[in-house]
A and B are shown apart, each in its own frame.
Chain A
Amino acid sequence: MNPTAHAILVFLQTWWVELVCGVVIVAVVPLIAGYVVLVERKLMADMQARLGPMRVGPHGLLQPIADAVKLLIKEDIIPDQSDKLIFWLAPVISMVAALTSMGAIAFGPTFQVARDINIGILFVLGVSSLGFLGIILGGWASNSHYSIIGALRSTAQLVSYETAAGLAIVSALLLSGTLRISAIVEAQQQAGVWFIFLAPVAAFIYLVASIAETNRAPFDLPEAESELVAGYMTEYSGFRWALYFLGEYANMIVVGSVATTLFLGGWLRPFPNVHWLAWLDWLPALIIALIGVYSIHRAGKQPVKVQTGFMWAVGLACFAVAVIFAVPWFVAPLKVIIPGLNGAFWFLLKVSAYIYVFMWLRFTLPRYRFDQLMHLGWYILIPLAIVNVFSVGIAMLLETEFGVTRWLALLLTTIVTLAAAILLVRWHDKRTESASSASLAPESYAG
């Protein structure tokens, strides 16, 4: 056969796993982001003593589909004097950046598009920061003062907290010694404990910084507060807005995945090195089966027949998935997929827990004012992150040079960092107290 066809075949043979993973990411993640929106609405309703979307589909499960259809058939309004190319391009950049950065994330030991790229975590960080361009260009293309101001504010916030996030990641990277994602997870397996226990301050800084990165409450002033500035998304309607919105939720998934990889042990099960806990490997199948049992248990208590049928369907689906998880244990040739399957389960569970914390914080805390937000980022978070990098470095030094055991060194330095944190917060509070009681108004922010 001619060389081109041969080349294509060779390409497909070597890279088919990555291709499939890539296609799955591009096709499935927007849908998943839509369902994350539904989960957030249901969770918000649950925390607010109400039910959430219930009409569209059983228990509102078809709500994202209905929203997508509505947004697709909406009139595409483009502001008159706006820059058409940039107006079209901005949401695309946002979404593409989020999806591409997912390419380097390992959702399990086998599911990764950019297999074992040398610079794993840095790739994710760098490409997801391309999303800022989408925000700036979107604000510009809307041809409205308030959009530009909102876009600039949003970008300023993102850039400040990106620094803090990067420094927090550096601490975790010091512990693992490499940028490769699979090597980071293996380092956690060898250490026997997740890095969140070894560098808790870094994990906390990353949590706060990632909330600000994704423009979530309590840092969502640029997009939620409708004082005068309605944000860079104002002039976008229909599916363009949906692209921005889905890009934001995809970003949440990316940020959750990075935190899971670095701090929560990636695809490892809890206590990955403890051998007598190996029965925990059965947990995925067990958990899903338990959900199925609970579902069927509640089926009898539903008021309406349709709901009963629905709960039975959910229960049976859970059992089917549990069977899929359990079957490879018994069928010998399928045993190779166990680590991949289980790993994906644990990874997704941890990312979901992280996103749950995001949502929980959104419904509980009020919003920071923009200058308070920048104060928090520059005066508290970045200094704390720098101190944390120093302390983790000193801990590593103690371990290699003086032979102190790793966890003891880290414990000591974590205490020092926490002390520094408390001092920082005290100093910051005293400063804002004196500044605001001295004058009638709080001091202005930089930028």
Chain B
Amino acid sequence: MLDSVLFYFFGGVAVVGAALMVTSRNAIHSAVFLITTLLATAGIFLQLGAEFLFIAQVILYVGGIMVLFIFVIMLVRLDVALHHIRFRMKSLVVMTVFGVLAAEAGAIIYYARALPGQGLFIQNMAPADKLAPNSEKLAESLFNSYLLPFEIASVLLLVAMVGAVVMAKSKNRTEES
């Protein structure tokens, strides 16, 4: 019962946050609403017992990417850029997307009631302490089965970091690097 309540709470916050983010006129407000959406998604992860995903979402998405977004919004003059947008079919696209999403949501709700044991309220969820410890399992699979992709990803991150530093420096420095 508590799980359902929590799920609908987080889901509701995520949807409302996303809607506000899309419709808000102020860029920083959009960023803040995106943060609420991301945090709500992280809450859903936590509720599913995927604690590591939860904290990864918080640290990386909210603490890293959103901070980056906010920096960019603050330091780039968006109102100048906005004047150049000339997309005319905005309302048509919005209505199409909204229609499709509403149809999908309706279909899910309708068919879910027919599935045995499923429904809008989850009756018996597995208790969290019966699940395998999340971080250990993740670490085991990362370092055993998926070692090569892990190392490739690390090298990619390193290259990105070095590239960012080089690009930032080459503007200011002449010979002093």
Query: Dominant SS at the A interface?
Result: helix
Please, what's the 1-or-0 string for B110-153, where 1 marks a CB less than 8 Å from any CB in chain A? Answer: 00000000000000000000000111100000000000000000
Collect the chain B residues with CB atoms within 8 Å of residue A178's CB: 136
Query: A7-B1, A7-B2, A127-B58 known; A137 and B51 CB under 8 Å?
Result: no
Please, what's the 1-or-0 string for B34-45, where 1 marks a CB less than 8 Å from any CB in chain A? Answer: 010000000000
Contact indicator A83/B28 (Cβ below 8 Å): yes
Contact indicator A133/B51 (Cβ below 8 Å): no
**22 A-B pairs with C-beta separation under 8 A:** A4-B1, A85-B32, A86-B28, A86-B29, A89-B32, A117-B51, A118-B135, A119-B51, A122-B55, A125-B59, A126-B55, A126-B63, A127-B58, A133-B62, A133-B63, A136-B67, A137-B70, A140-B28, A140-B70, A155-B67, A159-B67, A179-B135
Number of chain A interface residues as a range: 20 to 34
Collect the chain B residues with CB atoms within 8 Å of residue A443's CB: 176
Number of B residues whose C-beta is below 8 Å from A?
A: 29
Contact indicator A137/B32 (Cβ below 8 Å): yes
Collect the chain B residues with CB atoms within 8 Å of residue A123's CB: 51, 55
Contact indicator A86/B1 (Cβ below 8 Å): no
Residue in A130, A137, A148 whose CB lies within 8 Å of B28 = A137
Query: A3-B1, A117-B51 known; A133 and B74 CB under 8 Å?
Result: no
Query: A11-B2, A443-B176 known; A119 and B55 CB under 8 Å?
Result: yes
Collect the chain B residues with CB atoms within 8 Å of residue A119's CB: 51-52, 54-55, 134-135
Contact indicator A136/B51 (Cβ below 8 Å): no
CB of A188 within 8 Å of the partner chain: no
Complex: A4 Cα to B120 Cα, angstroms: 16
Collect the chain B residues with CB atoms within 8 Å of residue A83's CB: 26, 28-29
Collect the chain B residues with CB atoms within 8 Å of residue A118's CB: 51-52, 133-135
Complex: A119 Cα to B63 Cα, angstroms: 17
CB of B76 within 8 Å of the partner chain: no
Collect the chain B residues with CB atoms within 8 Å of residue A304's CB: none
Contact indicator A130/B135 (Cβ below 8 Å): no
Cβ distance A374 to chain B, nearest Cβ, rounded Å: 13
CB of A446 within 8 Å of the partner chain: yes
CB of B18 within 8 Å of the partner chain: no
Cβ distance B43 to chain A, nearest Cβ, rounded Å: 12
Contact indicator A446/B58 (Cβ below 8 Å): no
Please, what's the 1-or-0 string for B157-176, where 1 marks a CB less than 8 Å from any CB in chain A? Answer: 00000000100110010001
Cβ distance A2 to chain B, nearest Cβ, rounded Å: 11
CB of B66 within 8 Å of the partner chain: yes
Cβ distance B128 to chain A, nearest Cβ, rounded Å: 9
Please, what's the 1-or-0 string for B1-42, where 1 marks a CB less than 8 Å from any CB in chain A? Answer: 110000000000000000000000010110010010000000
Collect the chain B residues with CB atoms within 8 Å of residue A219's CB: none
Collect the chain B residues with CB atoms within 8 Å of residue A126's CB: 55, 58-59, 63
Cβ distance A13 to chain B, nearest Cβ, rounded Å: 12
